[in-house]
Amino acid sequence: MMKDTKLAFLYETIDALGYRVEFGNVAGDRDGETIHEKKLVRIQWDLTVRPYRSTVGHECAHVVFRDHPSRFGPVNAKQERRADEWAARQLITVDEYRAAEARHEGHIEAMAIELLVTVDIVQAFQRVLLRIGDAVYIDPRMGAGQAEARIDLSLEGV
């Protein structure tokens, strides 16, 4: 069996930050939770591979960013969105995304199956992309040259 290096990286990150992972029943309709006071990441024990990988990535992001639930809804929404986007960047490469998008003509569910993540994670990956003309910017920020990467599409297929 081939080692899932992306999942291994997530586990190494969780461990390096002093947290442990436990499998069990997670309250509510969630697949995972992070309990900072116990330095614990709990993952629902019966997940299949796609939700499992996506949940580990999502919860790892909560560990990295030290996210704590808030009574203020927009703060929670921002934390959840950021966790999905961070997980997406760890679990999907630009080349993998490009190949899956081309192969499945943008059909998100099919792409998620190929990429071994949930639809939410594919959508999160799409949120970190900005397409302008013949270029795709990865994780763009304000100011020239502030994106993590720029991919020129005008040369594709030439």
The DSSP 8-state label assigned to residue 135 in this structure reads: E
> Strand (E) positions, 38-127?
40-44
- How far, in Å, CA of 143 to CA of 74, rounded? 26
The DSSP 8-state label assigned to residue 131 in this structure reads: E
Name the band, by pLDDT with cuts 50, 70 and 90, for residue 138: confident
Cβ proximity of 130 and 136 under 8 Å: yes
Cα 74 to Cα 27, 69, 80, 84: the distances in Å are: 22, 11, 10, 15
User: Both tokens of residue 75?
Assistant: 């703060």
Positive or negative CA dihedral for 138, 141, 145, 148?
A: negative
Tell me the per-residue pLDDT of 20-73, one tens digit each, with 9 for 90 and over: 999 999 999 999 999 999 999 999 999 999 999 999 999 999 999 999 988 899
The pTM for the full model equals 0.85
Residue boundaries of the structural domains of the chain: 5-93, 130-158
Cβ proximity of 65 and 82 under 8 Å: yes
Residue 158: pLDDT over 50 = no
Q: How many CB atoms lie within 10 A of CB 154?
A: 9
Tell me the per-residue pLDDT of 94-135, one tens digit each, with 9 for 90 and over: 899 989 999 999 999 999 999 999 999 999 999 888 765 667
Which SS3 state, helix, strand or coil, does residue 23 take? strand
The DSSP 8-state label assigned to residue 63 in this structure reads: H
Average pLDDT over residues 132-157: 67
Q: 5-93 maps to which CATH number?
A: 1.10.10.2910
